[in-house]
Amino acid sequence: MSKKVLNCKELGVDTECKKKFTGYNEGEVLMKTIQHIMWDHKVEKVTPELKDKIRSLIKDSD
């Protein structure tokens, strides 16, 4: 089973961010990403649209 991955800079919150999130499933990557953007990028509210955007950027890792 391949892991899932997301690069924070792809979200567009901070295109300079070097953080990369991996997990065994979409939910794990989603949770890590949300925690990061709220803490490090000071995103105060995670809307359903933002969650959908995050999910759309999660890919299978090589």
Percent of residues, the chain, with pLDDT higher than 90: 89
Q: What is the mean pLDDT of the chain?
A: 95
In a domain, 10, yes or no: yes
Q: Is residue 28 part of a domain?
A: yes
Q: Over 90: is that where the pLDDT of 32 sits?
A: yes
Residue-by-residue DSSP string for 35-48: HHHHHHS------H
What is the C-alpha separation between 2 and 39, in angstroms, rounded?
28
How much is the pTM? 0.91
Dist CA 23 CA 42 (whole Å): 23
In a domain, 25, yes or no: yes
Residue 6 lies in a domain: yes
Does residue 60 fall inside a structural domain? no
Q: Examine residue 59 and state whether it is found in any structural domain, yes or no.
A: no
Task: Confirm if 51 and 30 have CB atoms less than 8 A apart.
Answer: yes
Q: What percent of the chain has pLDDT over 70?
A: 98
Mean pLDDT, residues 12-37 taken together? 96
**Domain count across the chain:** 1
Domain that holds residue 14: 1-38
46: in domain: no
- Taking residues 9-21, what's their average pLDDT? 93
Q: What is the mean pLDDT of residues 8-24?
A: 94
